[in-house]
Every structure is written in structure tokens, then in C-alpha cells.
Structure 1
């Protein structure tokens, strides 16, 4: 092939990608808007739109209001052209979700399955994933991959869990799952998956500190619009910040970690009831005992936020299982605690609250393949 021919093919691929990415970012647009904003010729844009439509990547559905001439046809991507499956593994269950190319979760479910590092467990879990795909009649050709979020720090190549004290899953391998599934598979630390979802939902953020308030606490640091991993993959493990060296015993073997004060498990243990019972009694019945427990929880959380804000001067994101339970009053209390002792007060706009609750890691994991696909088109 001549150099000229190669250059022409490359240019066509670049133009196709530019047009698709523009439509993706803008959600809905018109042919003339693409011509104007990308400064491409009308014929070039028309050719690329016809190609993308033929491939099934975009469709033309409806019209914009007339501005005096012929109505412009509305163009958008086909959001379910490809889908991604996300899994969030916990001790006694796993969460499963299916998302479209915009990261919208159009299905979520929780499936009971106690974890054990055995072939039988991995076979049961992957059988349930395959059953989930069959039951919902998802076309296998549309599935980008299966991405698995687990409680445990993974190796740099995401092939193995190298620290998994919560679930005793140290040594868990990607191969444990992938050998049973006919799709690309990915393994990720659940906190990093959650942070990826929050970054996806807040693309304007360059940096942030993520508090994943799940049954077990987790966290992540976002810098330069990326999740910071660290030299040994444990950046952001804020759950093991020591709050009191004489405090409760943590699963890591130390005492007084933030995990023992601000995880959902620690809250349930203190309250003597599940989270789903705790918050109605707290909000509606105004139980003095539960109010005192929640105030203590917020004080410990604010203390950690205050200290981390001194290290990473960036917005704080409250994410995970407990996030949907937070009220405006709770955020105000956090700010009051933080600013009463910090030399650098923060404003309300610097605390963001996630909306996906317990499914946050699973959805964030699924975004791994969506992000790959969008970048590749």
C-alpha cells in the first residue's frame, strides 16, 4: 500500500472518530452543527454520518424546531449499540448491573452467594452471570465485557488480588472468572471502580478525594483526572487511617482505623440494627440514642475529611451504600465539624454526594469497557 493510500485511510478513520465523539459528547445534534463546530466539509460529514448509521452506531430520530427554513434532523448515538456488565462481589452476595454507552444502569440486582475462594464458587457465580445474560435476552455480540469489582487491592496488571483481608480473597485471580466466561473480563479493586464512576459523573473534576461508605469503608484519590494507584496500588486506602490507637480492632490487625468508625458495618454494629431500619428511626422517630450515634459517626467522618483535605486540596465525594441516606443537614454538620478546626475552611460546593448507592462499584466496574469502546470508535 502506498504512503498516500495509508494517509487517506488514516484520515478517514480520524474524521469518523471525530464525528462520532462529537455526537457522543453532545447527546443530540444536527448535521450542520457538526459541520460548523468541527469545521469539516458538508460532504465529509455526510459521508461519515452515512457510514456510522450503516454500522448501527448512530440513528436519526426526530427534528429540531425550525428556525425559518427546513427542520434539521436530530442525530444521536445508539446508546445500547453495545452494553457492559458489571459485578460487585461482597462476602455474602454480589451485585450485577448492565449499562449502556452513556453509563446508564438499565438493570441492577443483588444475588445471594457466600464467597469462598473455591472453584465451586467461581463456577456458581459465572453460571449466574451467564443465566442473567440469557434471561434478559442480551445479544452476546453486544456485550463488551464483564468487569468485576472486588474488595481487595489488585496487582498492577489487575490479574490478582494481592491484599484481601476483608473477604480472605488474597490470591483471587482474573482467570478464576474468565475461564468460565466467553467474554473479555477485567478485575478491579471496588474502591477504584467506585472512584471511576464518580469521575465519570463529574468530568469537570481534576482532583478529588472519594469516601466509599460501603459495608466496609473504602476510598480513592483522584489527581490529574485519573485515579491515583501508588507504587504498590494502595493509594487512597483511607479506611486504615488511625483515628485512635486504642480504638476498636480493625480487620487489618490494627486498632482505631477509620473503618471501625465509619463503615456501614460499624454503624450497624453500634446501632444493633440494619441500615435500612436505622435511618427511618433516626429521621422520623428522632431516637436520642440513634441521633447520638449518627452525630458521632459524622464527627469521625469530618475529622478524616479535614485531615485529607490538608493533603489533597480538592472536592470530597461521598459515595457508596450510605451516600443516598445523607441529607443537606448532614452535609452542613460535616462542614461545621471540618471548618471548626481547619485553618483552610471548605465550602458546601466542595462536598459532592453520589447517587448510585450499593451498586456504585458494579456500575463503575462496567464503565471500564464502555470507556475503552468510546475511545476506540
Structure 2
């Protein structure tokens, strides 16, 4: 094939990709808008739209209001053309979700299953993933991949857990899962998956600190639109910042880590009740004892947020299991606490609260394959 032929093929691929990416970003657009904004010829745009529609990647969805002539077709991507599966593994359960190409959850479930580093466990969890896919009647070719978020720091190549003291899953391997599944598989630290979701939801952020308020506390640092990993993959492990050297014993073996004050587990231990019981009693009954426990929790959280903001001058995102329980009064309280002990005032808009709760790591993990697909079209 001639060099000219290769150039023509490459140009066609570039134009096709540009048009698809434009429609994806626009959510809903018209042929004329594509022509104008991408400065492409009408015939080039028409040919590519026909090609993308024939492939099932885009569809027409009604018409735009007429501006005097013929009504223009409203064009959008087919958001469920492909589905990505995310799995969030905990000690005694795992969360599973399916998301579309915009990252919207189309199905979620929580399945009880106690973790053990055994062949039986990996067979059980992957069987349940396959059952989940079958139950929702997703054809095999519709699945982009299965991405697994686990409590544990992964190796730089994301093939092995290199630090997993919470679940005792040090040594967990990606191939423990992938050998049982007919799909591409990915393994990620749950905190990094959560940060990926928050970055996806806030693409305008150049930098941020993510506090993952899950059963166990987690964290991540976003810089230059990327999740900072660090030389040994432990950047953002704010849960092990010591705030009291004589404090409670942490699972890492040290005392007074932020984990022992600001995890959901620590809140349950302090209150003597499950989170689902704690917040209704706190909000509705206004128990003085529970109010004090919650204010103590928020004070410790504010202390950490203040210090983190001194290191990284960026918005702070409250994410994970406890995030949906936060009210405007809670974030106002945090702001007052932070600003009473820092020389650099934090603004209201610099505290963001996530909305996906306990499914945050699973959804963030699933986005790995969505991003990969969108960039490949």
C-alpha cells in the first residue's frame, strides 16, 4: 500500500474519532453543529455519521427546534453500546456495578462473601460476577472488562497487592480473578479508584485531595489531572497520618493514625451502633451524646483537612460510604473548624461532597475501561 493510502486511512480514522469524541462531549448535537465546530466538510461529517450509526455507536434522538428551515436531527452516542463492570472488594462482602459509557450506574448490587486468599474464594467471586452479567442479560461482546477495586496498595503494573493489612490480602494477584473470566481484567487500590470517579465527576479540577470515608479510611492526591501514585504507590495514604501518638492502635501497627478517628468503623465503635442507625438518631432524635460523638469526628476530620490543605492548596473532596450522610450544616461546621486554626482560609466551594456512597470504588474502577474505550474509538 502506498504512503498516500496509509495517510488517507489514518486521516479517516482521525476524523471518525474527532466526530465521535465531539458527540460524546456534547451529549446532544446536530450535523451542522459538528461541521461548524470541527471545521470539517459537510460530506466528510455525513459519511462519518453514517458509518458511526451503522456501527451502532451513535443514534438520532428527535429533532432540534426549527430556525426557519428543516428541523435538524438531534444526534447522541449510544450510551449503553458497551458496559463496564466494577467490583469493590471488602472483608465480608463485595459491591458490583455496571456502568454505561457516561459512567452512569445501570445496576448495582452488594453480595455477602467473606474474603480469603484461596482458590475457592476467587472462584466464588468470579462465578458471582458472571451470574451478575447473566442476570442482567449482557451479551459477552457488550462487556468492556471487569475492573476490581480492593483494599490494598497494588504494584506499579497493577498485577499484585503489595500491602494489604486490612484484609490480609497482600499477594492477591490479578490473575487470581482473570483466569476465571472471559473479559479483560484490571486490579486497582480502592482509594485510587474512588479518586478516579471524583476526577471524572469534576474534570475542571487540576488538583484535589480525596478523603475516602469508607469502613476503613482512605485517601488520594490528584495533581495535574492525574492521580498521584508515588515511587512506592502509597501516595495519598492519609489514613496513616498520626494525629495522636498515644491514640488507639491502628491496623498498621502504629497508634493514633487518622484511620482510628475518621473511618466509618471508628464512628461505629465510638457510638456503639451501626452507621445506618447512628445518623437517623443523630438527625431526628438529636441525642446530645451522638451530637458530641459526631462533632468529635468532624473536628478530627477538620484537623486533617486543614493540614492537608497546607501541603496541597486544592479543593478537598469528601467521598465514599459516609459522604451521602453529610449535610450542609456538617460542611459548614468543618469550614468553621478549619478556618479557626489556619492562616489560609478555605472557601465553601473548596469542600466537595461525593454522591455515590459505598459504591464509589466499584464505579471508579469500572471507569478504567470506559475511558480506555472512549479514547480508542
TM-score, with length taken from structure 1: 1.00
Shift of 1:316: 0.3
Q: Distance in 1 between matches of 2:336 and 2:218?
A: 23
Shift of 1:141: 0.4
Q: Distance in 2 between matches of 1:93 and 1:277?
A: 20
CA deviation string 1:298-325 (max 9, x = no partner) = 0000000000000000000000000000
Specify the SS of the correspondent of 1:336. Answer: helix
Shift of 1:68: 1.2
Q: Distance in 2 between matches of 1:54 and 1:135?
A: 28
Specify the SS of the correspondent of 1:341. Answer: coil
Q: Distance in 2 between matches of 1:69 and 1:342?
A: 60
Structure 1 range deviating more: 31-40 or 61-70? 61-70
CA deviation string 1:315-355 (max 9, x = no partner) = 00000000000000000000001000101011000000000
Structure 2 partner of 1:17: 17
Structure 2 partner of 1:321: 321
Structure 1 partner of 2:104: 104
Shift of 1:61: 1.7
Q: Distance in 2 between matches of 1:355 and 1:237?
A: 22
Structure 1 partner of 2:311: 311
Listed as ranges, the matches of 1:212-227 within 5 Å are 212-227=212-227
Q: Distance in 2 between matches of 1:369 and 1:121?
A: 24
Q: Distance in 2 between matches of 1:349 and 1:66?
A: 39
CA deviation string 1:252-298 (max 9, x = no partner) = 00000000000000000110000000000000000011000000000
Structure 2 partner of 1:161: 161
Specify the SS of the correspondent of 1:205. Answer: coil
Shift of 1:112: 0.2
Structure 1 partner of 2:348: 348
Q: Is residue 209 of structure 1 aligned with residue 199 of structure 2?
A: no
Structure 2 partner of 1:126: 126
CA RMSD of aligned residues (A): 0.4
Listed as ranges, the matches of 1:112-261 within 5 Å are 112-261=112-261
CA deviation string 1:175-204 (max 9, x = no partner) = 000000000000000000000000000000
Structure 1 partner of 2:294: 294
Q: Distance in 1 between matches of 2:367 and 2:375?
A: 12
Q: Distance in 2 between matches of 1:113 and 1:8?
A: 53
Shift of 1:135: 1.2
Shift of 1:136: 1.1
Specify the SS of the correspondent of 1:358. Answer: helix
Structure 1 partner of 2:60: 60
Aligned length: 377
Unaligned runs of 5+ in 1: none
Unaligned runs of 5+ in 2: none
Specify the SS of the correspondent of 2:352. Answer: strand
Specify the SS of the correspondent of 2:149. Answer: strand
Q: Distance in 1 between matches of 2:134 and 2:81?
A: 18
Structure 1 partner of 2:262: 262
Q: Distance in 1 between matches of 2:301 and 2:103?
A: 29
Structure 1 partner of 2:363: 363
**After the TM superposition, which segments of 4 or more aligned residues of structure 1 sit over 3 Å from their partners?**
none
Q: Distance in 1 between matches of 2:121 and 2:341?
A: 48
Shift of 1:126: 0.4
Q: Distance in 2 between matches of 1:314 and 1:111?
A: 36
Q: Distance in 1 between matches of 2:206 and 2:345?
A: 20
Q: Distance in 2 between matches of 1:322 and 1:67?
A: 48
Shift of 1:215: 0.2
